[in-house]
């Protein structure tokens, strides 16, 4: 009986320590833990950290560990820094601080500065800790040879492009989880179509291992199409500056749409998806598209706000429109597709749904 209890206890601790340790969630756990450790809620910090970890589904040991920043060695520096930041935010300048000030008549002023400053300090130090954690875990993550080889191939395609374009491609490949997800999918061997292809990164990604594969892409941005034509000149590409609403989609084995549908109205989105389903090869053709996830609470709010900000900076004159997942599923199933939904968050805290819709293979008669 004792041996069984010890075994279960060890398994519980092991599961607890390994839970949700992907870079984004680990970074969030460290941020929350450090923030709680810095704000002056002494005696409640561990309880608050555990509660926040359960509420936001974070790694609990990592969240609690973050609160250990408030220890006897660092506590004086944390208090002084918090009060000084509070002084600066309230009056625009720093003031000499002495711990004896906390016992004098103007203690309320000192405590208010402490509280205000601790919130700002918690955000700053927590952000630095979160960024460091994400980088460390990313570097320590098990290698994915398939993804690494594809990424290396894509970088090589853009090696002769201008520095700004090379850097964009490099950081896009590093930050956007879509490429890891695509690497895990069977991208087939037929014509690969990317609607809204931008620089053509996904097209070159699909050409890995088969440089003769036909690649078709379109985008409204003439500059990006020009860069793509230059970078992918050694591949079998057909790239156009065109509007996806009127673009003639060729018969294809795979059609990809990333972060484009929200530029269209509801009817236009449905019409485009139906056209894509019709253009797919009848045996196993695949439509893959990504949209924002409207059903993830706070993460959805952050995602939608970020998208509206991008639209505002781009001066598109429209607001982004993302439909509910059930509406996308309905139109795909109505076209006879088998539909999978993969919900995920990017390394930026953006919530997405990746739809993978396949034309069913014909059953062989026996």
Cα separation, 183 vs 196, whole angstroms = 19
365 has pLDDT over 60: no
Distance CA 91, CA 278 (A): 65
Grouping H, G, I as helix, E, B as strand and the rest as coil, residue 146 is helix
Q: Report yes or no: 82 and 121 within 8 Å, Cβ to Cβ.
A: yes
Domain ranges of the chain: 2-140, 145-358
* pLDDT tens-digit readout, 75-129: 889 988 888 898 888 877 776 655 555 555 566 777 888 889 899 999 999 989 8
- In the predicted model, is pLDDT for residue 366 greater than 50? no
Q: Output the pLDDT for position 91.
A: 76
Q: Is 232 helix (H, G, I), strand (E, B) or coil?
A: coil
Residue in 346, 362, 365, 344 with CA at minimum distance from that of residue 354 = 344
345's enclosing H/E stretch is strand 338-345
- Are the CB atoms for 334 and 326 separated by under 8 Å? no
pLDDT, tens only, 16-62: 445 556 777 788 889 999 999 999 998 889 899 889 888 888 888 88
- Rounded mean pLDDT of the chain? 84
- First-to-last alpha carbon distance for the chain, in angstroms, is 55
**Fold topology of 145-358:** Rossmann fold (3.40.50)
């Amino acid at each position: 009986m004792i041996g069984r209890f010890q075994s279960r206890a060890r398994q519980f601790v092991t599961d607890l320590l390994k839970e949700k340790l992907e870079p984004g969630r680990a970074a969030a756990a460290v941020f929350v833990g450090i923030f709680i450790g810095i704000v002056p809620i002494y005696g409640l910090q561990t309880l608050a950290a555990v509660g926040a970890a359960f509420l936001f589904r974070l790694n609990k040991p990592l969240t609690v560990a973050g609160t250990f920043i408030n220890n006897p060695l660092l506590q004086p520096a944390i208090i002084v820094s918090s009060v000084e930041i509070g002084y600066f935010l309230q009056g625009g300048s720093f003031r000499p601080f002495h711990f004896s000030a906390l016992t004098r008549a103007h203690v309320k002023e000192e405590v208010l500065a402490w509280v205000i400053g601790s919130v700002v300090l918690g955000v700053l130090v927590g952000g630095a800790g979160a960024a460091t954690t994400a980088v460390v875990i990313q570097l320590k993550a098990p290698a994915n040879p398939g993804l690494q080889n594809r990424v290396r191939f894509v970088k090589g395609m853009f090696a002769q492009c201008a520095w700004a374009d090379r850097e964009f491609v490099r950081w896009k490949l590093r930050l956007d989880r879509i490429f890891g997800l695509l690497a895990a999918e069977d991208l087939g061997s037929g014509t690969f179509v990317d609607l809204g292809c931008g620089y053509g990164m996904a097209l070159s990604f699909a050409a890995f291992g088969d440089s003769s594969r036909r690649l078709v892409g379109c985008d409204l941005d003439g500059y990006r199409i020009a860069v793509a034509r230059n970078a992918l000149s050694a591949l079998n590409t057909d790239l156009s500056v065109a509007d996806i609403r009127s673009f003639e989609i060729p018969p294809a084995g795979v059609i990809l749409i990333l972060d484009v549908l929200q530029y269209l109205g509801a009817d236009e989105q449905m019409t485009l998806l139906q056209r894509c389903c019709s253009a797919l090869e009848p045996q196993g053709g695949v439509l893959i598209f990504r949209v924002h996830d409207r059903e993830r609470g706070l993460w959805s709010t952050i995602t939608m706000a970020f998208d509206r900000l991008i639209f505002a900076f781009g001066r598109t004159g429209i607001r982004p429109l993302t439909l509910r997942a059930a509406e996308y599923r309905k139109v795909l199933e109505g076209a006879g597709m088998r539909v999978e939904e993969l919900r995920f968050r990017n390394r930026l805290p953006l919530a997405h749904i990746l739809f993978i819709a396949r034309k069913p293979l014909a059953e062989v008669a026996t």
